[in-house]
Amino acid sequence: ISGTDIKITLPFGTDISSLSATAKISAGATISPDPTKNRDYTNPVDLTVKAEDGTTQNTYKVTITVEKNNEANILSWKFVDKLATISAKDIKITFPYGTNITALKAEVELSEGATISPDPTQNREYTNPVNFTVTSEDEMINKKYKVTVSNSKAKILSWKFGDKAATISGTD
């Protein structure tokens, strides 16, 4: 507390729209509004403390800040309705043979407040792996992810003449 300013920073994810507090005040003094009742602290809140004599008072301003998120994760990655597999910092997706992968736009879900570069929602060529950097909201963490897009191979999976199956061999 500095003078009549009360400031506190709470951990990321704290809901400050309904908080209660405890306050130690001078003997015989009163405080209004009652800080022990849930209150919205998304904007600064003024509290008035009146001395026992009922005439002397001070107004205190309570300001709560919530820490920014320090996570830089890609939670999901998809192209249209096809979801990619995420393993650590590698993202892989395989499309049916012949799918054009030279101009794809991705839908990406990131950690809250995080940003990604380059912008995956822009048309991008994925004929080679593409690297993306995710930065946490607090800008303290940067993670590099590699996105690899491929087409399944065109191949014969089985061959029969009547009920007689052939053997498939050789290189893919």
SS (H, E, C) 49-96: EECCCCCCEEEEEEEEEECCCCCCCEEEEEECCEECEEECCEEEEEEC
| Other Cβ atoms closer than 10 A to 104 | 21
Averaged over 9-19, what is the pLDDT? 95
Place 1 in a pLDDT band, splitting at 50, 70 and 90: low
For the cut 70, the answer to whether the pLDDT of residue 172 exceeds it is no
Give tens-digit pLDDT for 35-83.
Answer: 999 999 999 999 999 999 888 899 999 999 999 999 999 999 999 889 9
**What's the mean per-residue pLDDT of the chain?**
93
